[in-house]
């Protein structure tokens, strides 16, 4: 299950456009050459670090000769443009080519090696290149290097003129091209093969990925822009010095890569700007510059290995938690009358061990109680049609799951899982003074209903689910019970862009209409962590207990799926073993989708009422073992 | 003797088992039976201190093996808490208290000889009274025969015997055996089962994990069923049903 | 090539080999036990040389050689233990410990080298040779310092070898290096053994630094070039056995001496690296052994 929307559909688009505008405006705001100089260096470092990240972070290939690839670009430019008199622009292009070629050479000894040996051999290779450069002094100038390299010109205009504005924009363009290149490569077949080899080498090889070819291509892809950046760097500074091979430069780039966050494109880009500025600022302090940078590297790597990017994600999560929590608190009072008008029930807040929970209850304790459990990223008002149609005969109760609707957010570790939800359902029933209840669960709420019944702390007189394939073996049955081609992958995604929220809302509940608009408005309130943790905590639920309960068949049980539910694998649900199920098999609501009670309320109510009646009368004719159970 | 209270744990950030309560008295041997991949080995690794428990306590012979309190909150997901928090368990302390864990498919020290390996166990016991080298060689004649071979050249069964032998020398007061007979040929298996029965007869309590119910019946007094990261049942030796019934108890009809 | 030249090349090669053997042994001690590669080893070499200079030089404390060397050893052991706690221990349970250790030890090496620069300044220094005598052996000119170096290095290596083979902590270290968990479950004190291994490695680096400081000029980055050679040695020979890097060190030493004679000072190291890469292509586990970390 992969979900990889194009960039313009993700939430990254606006920050990116903003950054581009800021970078284009920068040289016109800061006209001093020094400010532009620092930025040009940052562009170069960002290119080299992100390219390195493709082989190291994405590919897990610890190529410590990457800095040498940069130096190859530098010397290619120096030799071609100065000694051989080739056009500087061609020499820059050639830098990319020679660098990729050297990367191919490096890949040869690395092909058969793993882990630390790759590091050692690439370091040795880089030393070898260094030794060749300082030994072949007639060509490279040896330890003193080469100076007064040709500068870049366009139609005779020197890019270094006007406070280096020409270099600034060429550097910016190069960085943009590099990011675009990496963005496309990471999404290409090569990129997927690269990551697959890192994550599970033998599986990837078994699936027909050639390790040797992928490694060579990965290294070459990471070398192209590194070489171009090296050549550009040489053209900009107009010197080629063997210092580029040195530990100082390696440490600087490594710090950009790690503090930015390995395995991401944007982290190192952001870090490159920060660290270039800091490093330039520290350069006046001699030996202390390297000491400070090194201490910072150690602190980051030891204490916060994810780097800047991980910190940004964590801050984003904290901000989102505040946003959703505040939204819930605001809506608790503001929209309350509207919500109560919709359901005809009174809403109140109750305290539970996990979070504050909003409960809608029609009261009237003399009627039989009926509890509705809503699904992922929905709210209790999803059942407003049932509140209206069934409250004449039943006491209808529904509650917002924690992190949903107007309930509060909870501690993600303990709160956002089905077992906790079931415990909350028990607390809600206890607060209503109900000890016998019929339960309907929808989607995620279906698991809550199953778990509530399986726990057995509350007497469940009837149990119905919709959009919920019961799971026997997790996580295997997760793949069997659902249709992975749908928008289901979004169910576990932390942040929704507008487009994604609309997609998920359309599939999970109903397309936007005057009728369903409130559900779509409610969806962005959902605590994204509830979606993520629900998925990661899936293994701590006692699924077999639910299956045992269904196999025993003591509780009157019905499945009322929408016939057109886009998420479900109906065949899987029909094949399970039910000791006693209403009408002997899962029942389809014709034309119903994932929320049949919402988009086909009349048909659903009809079936649900019939089920409740049969459950009450306990007629054996309507509750039969499923075909599977009958043959077993 | 071993008193495990409300133990939960796993590999950060994935919780594997939860709320495990286990009391084993000094004269008792217990078995743990359950499907693969449900956290038995993770539980044992927590008991012996290889990984830290998240919650709960482990007492061995009245002495607390873990540091008190719960696992600290891990609010910042990407922060390396290991760098700033002390470990909650020390495997050395557990082993020296006498709770010795013989791992599943233990590869031991491939480049050391059998004799060297046993001498390591002697130095690990550091003066506490365990079995002597002569005693374990008597128990496992095969080990005695192969004493000058490197572990790397031993068969799986021989390696398992050396593992148990080393465990016995390291002064155990309770022995944890994790699937000792897994993947062995019937002949070697029989030999090993016999030796384990001998060990049991000396009165050393054993925690045995095995898939073979008949073998478990010979060794243990109490059987615990373990699935989905929790203890789901407890029965005495006399109540133990056959393998098929156990599997049905764990999984229902469809398994 | 006349016999005298040949013999003096061999002599040079053996002395280089002895130095490389000492460094490579220290490297492989940490590598095999902790499973990480210590890039601060070169900085340890420089630190050892500077500390010994501080104790022994007439410009500094001016102590006699023997106590100066012994105290340097103690200081280096301690430095190794401390750096182990700072640079390796905090993340030794992470799955990506190998990469992280590369980075922290690289950074640690930068800190040490720049620290040396701040404390002792950029001016070159030299440690007084241990002895000042000369011997003529069948036309071969040897200084007693050179003989002493060869003898001492071999004695030190023999001592470490015996320690690992016969002593209780040494044997336990080998056990830990081969299977950390099994050793823990038997009750061995693994953190202590790790600290000892790191300390011992730093100690050998310090000794190498002292030898190096007597025959070359000292500067803060003096360890980086020998570290690269030791790296070549370790890859070239593999670390299957304690002795593998030692044989490899002498082969590399001789190879360097000969290629310096044939190709000149500049190209000789390139020859070594090419040789190493070729060996890796043919036999990735190293010349002498299995592809695994053991002592």
Angstrom distances, CA of residue A577 to CA of A40, A580, A615: 67, 9, 19
More confident residue, B51 or A2: B51
Asked whether residue B151 carries a pLDDT value surpassing 60, the answer given is: yes
Among A323, A358, A368, which residue's Cα sits nearest to residue A528?
Answer: A323
Among A112, A128, A258, beta carbon nearest to C273: A128
**A478 — pLDDT class (breaks 50, 70, 90):** confident
What is the C-alpha separation between B172 and A518, in angstroms, rounded? Answer: 66
What's the per-residue H, E or C state across A281-327? HHHHHCHHHHHHHHHHHHHHHHHCCCHHHHHHHHHHHHHHHHHHHHH
Least confidently predicted of A588-597, B207-216, C186-195, C278-287: C278-287
Contact C185 B100 (CB under 8 A): yes
Q: Which residue has tokens 């917002």?
A: A400
- Please indicate, yes or no, if residue B192 is contained in any of the structural domains: no
Whether the per-residue pLDDT at B169 is higher than 60: the answer is yes
Q: Which 3-state string (H, E, C) describes C12-69?
A: HHHHHHHHHHHHHHHHHHHHHHHCCCCCCHHHHHHHHHHHHHHHHCCCCCCCCHHHHH
**What is the per-residue pLDDT for C273?**
84
User: From C168, which residue of chain B is nearest by alpha-carbon distance?
Assistant: B123
Asked if C186 lies within 8 A of B120 by C-beta distance, the reply is: yes
| pLDDT, tens digit (0-9, with 9 covering 90-100), for B7-19 | 988 887 777 888 8
Which residue has 């038995």 as its token pair? Answer: B40
Average pLDDT rounded to a whole number, residues A177-198: 90
Distances (CA, A) of B174 to B59, B98, B157, B181, C53: 13, 6, 22, 19, 55
C88 touches chain A (CB under 8 A): no
Identify the closest residue of chain A to B228 by CA–CA distance. A542
pLDDT digits (tens, 9 = 90+) for B224-242: 988 878 888 888 888 888 8
Please give the distance of CA A225 from its chain centroid, rounded to a whole number: 27
pLDDT for B91 beyond 60: yes
The mean pLDDT of B125-149, rounded to a whole number, is 88
What is the Cα gyration radius of chain B? 19
**A342-366: b or e for each residue (b if 16 or more CB lie within 10 Å)?**
bbebebeebebebbbbbbbbbeeee
Q: Is C40 on the interface with A (CB under 8 A)?
A: no
Q: Is A599 on the interface with B (CB under 8 A)?
A: no
Q: A623 and B244 in contact (C-beta within 8 Å)?
A: no
Residue A630 confidence (pLDDT) above 60: no
Looking at residue A432, what is its pLDDT? 93
Contact with chain B for residue C243, Cβ under 8 A: no
Contacts of A540 in chain B (CB under 8 A): 15, 18, 229
Q: Domain extents for chain C?
A: 3-282
**Cβ neighbours, 10 Å, residue A302:** 22
* Winning range, highest mean pLDDT, from A470-474, B12-16, B100-104: B100-104
Taking CB atoms and an 8 Å cutoff, what residues of chain A touch C98? 115-116
Phi/psi region, residue C278 (left: phi>0; alpha: psi -120 to 50; beta: rest), is alpha
* A146 sits in which H/E element: none
Q: How far is Cα A261 from Cα A300, in angstroms, rounded to an integer? A: 10
| Least confident among A158-162, A242-246, A383-387 | A158-162
Please tell me the distance from the alpha carbon of residue A432 to that of residue B11, in angstroms, as a whole number.
39
Whether domain A348-484+530-631 has CATH 3.90.1150.10: the reply is: no
Q: How many domains does chain B have?
A: 1
State which residue of chain C sits closest to B114, comparing Cα positions.
Answer: C175
Task: Mark yes or no for CB contact A108/C224 under 8 Å.
Answer: no
Computed over every residue of chain A, the mean pLDDT equals 88
CA A306 to chain B, closest CA, distance in angstroms equals 6
Please say if the pLDDT value at position A476 is more than 80.
no
The sign of the CA dihedral C182, C186, C191, C195 is negative
Give a three-class secondary structure readout of A461-502: EEEEEECCCCCCCCCHHHHHHECCCCHHHHHHCCCCCHHHHH
Give residue-wise pLDDT tens across range A283-300. 888 888 889 888 988 998
pTM: 0.82
Q: Distance between CA B168 and CA B165 in Å, rounded?
A: 5
Position A610 confidence tier, pLDDT thresholds 50, 70, 90: very high
Q: Cβ separation of C91 and A302 shorter than 8 Å?
A: yes
Question: What is the number of other CB atoms lying within 10 angstroms of the CB of residue A524?
Answer: 16
The predicted-structure confidence for A101-135, as pLDDT tens digits, reads as follows: 999 999 988 877 777 788 888 888 898 898 889 88
> Considering only CA atoms, which of B4, B38, B44 is closest in space to residue B209?
B44
Which residue is closest to A311 within chain B, CA to CA?
B78
Written as one string, the DSSP assignment of C211-241 is: HHHHHS-B-TTTTHHHHHHHHHHHHHH-SSS
Q: Which residues of chain C have pLDDT under 50?
A: 291, 293-295
What are the φ and ψ backbone dihedral angles of C213, each rounded to 5 degrees? Answer: -65, -20
What is the Cα–Cα distance from A139 to A142, expressed in whole angstroms? 8
Instruction: Flag whether pLDDT at B255 surpasses 50.
Output: no
From C141's Cα to the closest Cα of chain A, the distance in A is: 31
Cβ-proximal residues to B205 (8 Å cutoff; 6+ apart), any chain: B1, B24, B25, B26, B27, B28, B29, B173, B174, B175
Count of CB pairs separated by less than 8 Å, A with B? 48
Distance CA B13, CA B10 (A): 8
- State how beta strands B222-227 and B230-236 pair: antiparallel
Say if B129 falls within a structural domain. no
The pLDDT score that the predictor gives to residue A1 is 36
> Which tokens sit at C50?
């500077």
Region class of B8: left (phi > 0), else alpha (psi between -120 and 50), else beta? beta
Question: Is a pLDDT exceeding 70 seen at residue A69?
Answer: yes
The angle formed by the CA atoms of residues C250, C253 and C259, to the nearest 5 degrees, is 140
Contacts of C101 in chain B (CB under 8 A): none
The neighbours of chain B, by the rule of 3 or more Cβ pairs under 8 Å, are A, C
B49 contacts on C by Cβ (under 8 Å): 184
* Predicted local confidence at residue A14, as pLDDT: 83
Mean pLDDT of A213-218: 91
Name chain B contacts of A547, Cβ cutoff 8 Å. 252, 254
A neighbour chains, 3+ CB pairs within 8 Å: B, C
- The alpha carbon of residue B38 is apart from the nearest alpha carbon of chain A, in Å, by 10
Q: With an 8 Å Cβ cutoff, is C167 touching chain B?
A: no
**Residue B81 scores a pLDDT above 90:** no
Q: Is A258 on the interface with C (CB under 8 A)?
A: yes
pLDDT in tens, A127-175: 889 888 988 888 888 888 898 889 888 888 888 878 888 999 999 999 9
CB atoms within 10 A of CB A534: 21
Query: Does B33 reside within a domain?
Result: yes
Domain annotation covers residue B47: yes
Predicted confidence band of residue A402 (pLDDT cuts 50, 70, 90): very high
- Angstrom CA distances, B111 to A339, B143, B150, C284, C290, stand at 72, 16, 6, 20, 11
Count the alpha carbons within 13 Å of A426 in the hemisphere toward its beta carbon. Answer: 18
The model's confidence at residue B251, banded by pLDDT at 50, 70 and 90, is low
To the nearest whole Å, the CA of B230 is away from the closest chain A CA by 9
Closest-CA residue of B relative to C173 is B120
Which of C165, C180, C182, C194 to mutate to probe the B interface, most B CBs <10 Å? C182
Q: Do C178 and B111 touch (CB under 8 A)?
A: yes
Residue of A nearest to C31 (CA): A116
**Residue B211 CB coordination number (10 Å):** 15
Domain interval for residue B1:
1-92+205-255
- Per-residue pLDDT of A311-348, as tens digits, reads 888 899 999 999 999 999 999 988 899 999 999 999 99
Give the residue among B31, B33, B44, B23 at the shortest CA–CA distance from B249. Answer: B33
- Picking from A368, A336, A338, the residue whose alpha carbon sits closest to that of residue A349 is A336
Residue B69: CATH number of its domain: 3.40.50.300
Cβ distance of C232 and A124 shorter than 8 Å: yes
Give every CB contact of residue C86 below 8 A, 6+ residues apart in sequence: A298, C108
> Are the C-beta atoms of residues B29 and B223 closer than 8 Å to each other?
no
């Amino acid at each position: 299950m992969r979900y990889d929307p194009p960039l313009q559909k993700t939430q990254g688009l606006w920050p990116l456009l903003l950054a581009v505008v800021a970078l284009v405006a920068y040289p016109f705001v800061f006209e001093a050459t020094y400010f532009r100089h620092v930025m040009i260096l940052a562009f170069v470092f960002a290119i080299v670090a992100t390219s390195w990240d493709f082989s190291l972070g994405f590919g897990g290939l610890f190529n410590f000769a990457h800095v040498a690839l940069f130096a190859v670009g530098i010397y290619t430019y120096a030799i071609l443009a100065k000694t051989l008199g080739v056009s500087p622009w061609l020499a820059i292009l050639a830098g990319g080519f020679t660098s990729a070629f050297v990367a191919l050479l490096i890949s040869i000894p690395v092909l058969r090696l793993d882990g630390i040996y790759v590091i050692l051999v690439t370091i040795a290779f880089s030393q070898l290149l260094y030794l060749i450069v300082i030994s072949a002094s007639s060509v490279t100038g040896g330890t003193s290097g080469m100076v007064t390299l040709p500068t870049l010109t366009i139609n005779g205009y020197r890019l270094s003129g006007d406070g280096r504005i020409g270099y600034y924009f060429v550097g910016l363009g190069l960085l943009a091209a590099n990011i675009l290149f990496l963005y496309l490569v990471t999404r290409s077949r090569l990129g997927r093969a690269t990551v697959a080899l890192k994550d599970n080498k033998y599986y990837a090889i078994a699936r027909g990925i050639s390790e040797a070819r992928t490694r060579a291509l990965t290294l070459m892809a990471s070398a192209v822009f590194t070489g171009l950046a090296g050549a550009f760097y040489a053209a900009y500074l107009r010197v080629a010095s063997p210092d580029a091979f040195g530990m100082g430069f390696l440490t600087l780039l490594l710090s950009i890569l790690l503090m930015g966050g390995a395995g991401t494109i944007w982290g190192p880009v952001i870090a490159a700007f920060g660290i270039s500025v800091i490093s330039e600022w520290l350069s006046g302090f001699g030996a202390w510059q390297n000491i400070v940078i090194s201490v910072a590297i150690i602190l980051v790597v030891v204490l916060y290995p994810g780097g800047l990017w991980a910190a940004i994600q964590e801050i984003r999560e904290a901000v989102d938690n505040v946003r959703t929590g505040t939204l819930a608190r605001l809506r608790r009072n503001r929209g309350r009358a509207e919500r109560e008008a919709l359901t005809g029930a009174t809403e109140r807040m109750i305290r539970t061990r996990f979070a504050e929970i909003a409960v809608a209850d029609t009261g009237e304790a003399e009627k039989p109680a009926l509890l509705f459990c809503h699904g992922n990223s929905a709210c209790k008002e999803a059942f407003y049609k049932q509140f209206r149609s069934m409250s004449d005969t039943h006491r209808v109760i529904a509650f917002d799951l924690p992190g949903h609707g107007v309930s509060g957010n909870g501690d993600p570790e303990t709160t956002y899982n089905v077992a906790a939800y079931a415990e909350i359902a028990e607390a809600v029933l206890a607060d209503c003074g109900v000890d016998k209840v019929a339960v309907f669960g929808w989607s995620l709420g279906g698991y809550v209903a199953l778990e509530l019944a399986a726990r057995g702390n509350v007497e469940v007189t009837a149990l119905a689910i919709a959009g919920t394939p019961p799971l026997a073996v997790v996580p295997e049955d997760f793949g069997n019970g659902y249709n992975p081609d749908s928008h289901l992958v979004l169910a576990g995604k932390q942040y929704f862009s507008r487009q994604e929220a609309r997609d998920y809302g359309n599939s999970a509940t109903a397309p936007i209409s005057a009728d369903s608009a409130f559900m779509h408005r409610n969806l962005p309130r959902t605590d994204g962590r509830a979606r993520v943790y629900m998925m990661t905590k899936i293994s701590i639920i006692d699924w077999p207990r639910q299956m045992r309960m269904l196999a025993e068949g003591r509780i009157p049980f019905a499945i009322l799926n929408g016939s057109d539910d886009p998420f479900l694998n109906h065949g899987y649900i029909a094949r399970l073993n039910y000791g006693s199920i209403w009408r002997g098999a899962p029942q389809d609501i014709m034309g119903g989708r994932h929320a049949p009670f919402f988009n086909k309320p009349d048909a659903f109510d009809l079936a649900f009422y019939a089920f409740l009646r049969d459950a009450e009368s306990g007629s054996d004719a309507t509750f039969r073992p499923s075909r599977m159970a009958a043959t077993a | 003797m071993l008193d495990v209270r409300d133990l939960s744990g796993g590999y950060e950030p994935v919780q594997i088992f939860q709320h495990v309560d286990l009391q084993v008295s000094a004269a008792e041997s217990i078995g743990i039976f359950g499907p693969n991949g449900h956290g038995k080995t993770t539980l044992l690794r927590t008991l012996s201190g290889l990984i830290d428990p998240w919650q709960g306590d482990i007492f061995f012979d009245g002495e607390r093996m873990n540091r008190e309190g719960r696992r600290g909150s891990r609010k910042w997901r990407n922060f390396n808490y290991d760098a700033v928090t002390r470990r909650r368990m020390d495997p050395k302390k557990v082993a020296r208290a006498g709770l010795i864990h013989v791992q599943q498919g233990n590869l031991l020290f491939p480049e050391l000889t059998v004799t060297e390996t046993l001498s390591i166990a002697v130095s690990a016991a550091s003066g506490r009274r365990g079995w002597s080298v002569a005693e374990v060689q008597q128990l496992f004649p095969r080990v005695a025969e192969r004493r000058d071979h490197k572990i790397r050249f031993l068969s799986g069964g021989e390696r398992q015997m050396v593992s148990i032998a080393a465990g016995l020398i390291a002064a155990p007061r309770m022995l944890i055996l994790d699937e000792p007979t897994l993947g062995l040929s019937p002949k070697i298996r029989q030999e090993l089962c016999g030796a384990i029965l001998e060990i049991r007869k000396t009165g050393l309590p054993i925690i045995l994990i095995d898939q073979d119910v008949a073998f478990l019946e010979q060794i243990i007094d109490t059987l615990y069923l373990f699935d989905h990261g929790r203890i789901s049942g407890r029965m005495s030796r006399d109540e133990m049903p056959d393998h098929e019934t156990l599997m049905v108890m764990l999984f229902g009809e469809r398994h | 090539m006349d016999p005298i030249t040949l013999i003096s090349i061999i002599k040079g090669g053996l002395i280089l080999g002895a130095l490389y053997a000492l460094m490579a042994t220290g490297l492989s001690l940490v590598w095999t036990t902790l499973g990480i590669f210590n890039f601060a080893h070169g900085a340890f070499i420089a630190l050892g040389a500077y500390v010994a200079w501080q104790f022994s030089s007439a410009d500094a404390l001016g102590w006699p050689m023997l106590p100066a060397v012994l105290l340097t050893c103690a200081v280096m052991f301690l430095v190794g233990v401390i750096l182990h706690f700072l640079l390796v221990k905090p993340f030794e349970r992470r799955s990506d410990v190998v990469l992280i250790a590369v980075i922290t030890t690289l950074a640690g090496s930068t800190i040490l080298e720049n620290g040396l620069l701040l404390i002792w300044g950029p001016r070159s220094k030299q440690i007084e040779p241990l002895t000042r005598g000369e011997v003529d052996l069948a036309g071969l000119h040897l200084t007693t310092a050179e003989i002493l170096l060869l003898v001492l290095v071999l004695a030190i290596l023999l001592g470490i070898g015996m320690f690992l083979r016969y002593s209780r902590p040494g044997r336990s270290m080998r056990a830990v290096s081969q299977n950390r968990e099994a050793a823990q479950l038997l009750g061995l004190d693994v953190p202590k053994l790790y600290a000892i291994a790191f300390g011992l490695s730093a100690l050998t680096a310090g000794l190498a630094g002292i030898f190096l400081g007597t025959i070359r000029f000292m500067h803060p980055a003096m360890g980086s070039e020998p570290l690269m050679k030791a790296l070549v040695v370790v890859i070239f020979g593999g670390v299957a056995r304690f002795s593998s890097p030692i044989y490899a060190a002498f082969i590399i030493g001789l190879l360097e001496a000969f290629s310096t004679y044939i190709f000149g000072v500049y190209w000789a190291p390139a020859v070594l690296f090419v040789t190493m890469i070729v060996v890796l292509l043919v036999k990735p586990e190293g010349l002498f052994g299995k592809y695994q970390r053991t002592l």
